[in-house]
Copies of this chain bind each other. A is one copy, B any other.
Amino acid sequence: MIIVLKKSATDKEIEHITEKIKSLGLAVHLSKGQERTLIGAIGDESLLSGTSLEALPGVDKVMPILKPYKMVSREFKSEPTVIEVGGSSIGSSQVQVIAGPCSVETEKQMLECARLVKAGGASFLRGGAFKPRTSPYAFQGLGEEGLKFLAHAREETGLPVVTELMDPRDTELICEYADIIQIGTRNMQNFRLLTEVGKVRKPVLLKRGLSATIKEFLMSAEYIASQGNTDIILCERGIRTFETSTRNTLDLTAVPVLKQETHLPVFIDPSHAAGRWDYVAPLSKASVAIGADGLIIEVHNDPENALCDGAQSLKPKCFDVLITELKPIAEAIGRGI
């Protein structure tokens, strides 16, 4: 950690800062420049987390050098994490596709969607039983009944199931039914929920928060990992910007950035990013080309009657075409799909 001092910092202030850092168990490295004096705090920066160096008189700014995440970092573990779920390897050379409706609506709909996406080439089934909706008056999901429909669809098709957990009190229930637990974008910094899924033995699909930096995203993954669960799939799903022509702005650059910073697999959700079904295909192609380990795509058998997100759901036929078109792109970069 580098502490940049104010031009006006006095010797007494410098001494006070120096003593403070030493008292916390770090070494100090003083560097007096012509214009500014810098203090380097050498050692474990986390020892400084319980103090507020910026509040010390004479301090202009504090610049951390080390990364705040550990277990999820590439420096901690250099080889990529591969997660095995129901016979499929996530994070391997095979690009995995999770598909299905935004929310579970009826048993018939789930079964039909499951069969169609399986036929189209998906390896996992998505569907929300608990739905985080902006409006209290909108459909909130079927709850446990929805989970049962998902389980039934899994039985019929063999597709492992991905579904969202919104409330720490539902953890056990979700674990009973889900193969992969999804933490939604609005809960990326619901630290209690992260701690909870850190304690279970199921892979977690963690969606990036709407306005989370890559660093914060990785810190949320670290919350889960620090509890013992390192089977984490990161999912970029669009960030909030000033642009309004799409629902969110898909930050595809997050893929190479995350690949450099972490060993965890990285997925893309083009459906929520775009908010419109007709942009899902081009975004999926770009996602595969840039090196994403998987896609999570909304597919509905009857989008115009979907209770949620119909506008961004692919019809099964479009999904089939898309998977066919993705194959040569995956091959072009030496992967399969």
Nearest CB in chain B to that of A249: its residue: B251
A227 to B51, CA, bound (A): 40
Are A252's CB and B255's CB within 8 A? no
A251 to B239, CA, bound (A): 11
Is residue A119 within 8 Å, beta carbon to beta carbon, of the partner chain? no
Q: Mark A227-252, 1 if CB is under 8 A from B, else 0.
A: 10000000000011111111001111
Is residue A169 within 8 Å, beta carbon to beta carbon, of the partner chain? yes
Are B137's CB and A46's CB within 8 A? yes
Is residue A286 within 8 Å, beta carbon to beta carbon, of the partner chain? yes
- A196 to nearest B CB, angstroms? 9
Are B190's CB and A52's CB within 8 A? no
Stretch of A79-87, A90-98, A109-117, A210-218 on the interface side: A210-218
Nearest CB in chain B to that of A247: its residue: B253
A37 to B285, CA, bound (A): 34
Are B310's CB and A2's CB within 8 A? no
Instruction: Point out the residue from B133, B219, B290, B331 that lies within 8 Å of A282, measured CB to CB.
Output: B290
Nearest CB in chain B to that of A307: its residue: B50
Chain B residues in 8 Å Cβ range of A56: 304
A40 to B132, CA, bound (A): 29
A55 to B304, CA, bound (A): 5
A138 to B244, CA, bound (A): 23
Instruction: Point out the residue from B63, B134, B214, B279 that lies within 8 Å of A257, measured CB to CB.
Output: B279
Give 14 CB contacts A-B under 8 Å: A34-B42, A35-B66, A36-B66, A55-B304, A166-B191, A186-B190, A186-B191, A245-B257, A246-B257, A252-B286, A253-B282, A255-B282, A285-B333, A286-B287
Extra contacts, 17 of them, besides A252-B286, A253-B274 (Cβ < 8 A), are A33-B42, A46-B137, A52-B305, A52-B308, A136-B191, A136-B222, A167-B168, A167-B192, A168-B168, A187-B190, A213-B242, A239-B241, A241-B251, A255-B282, A260-B278, A283-B290, A332-B332
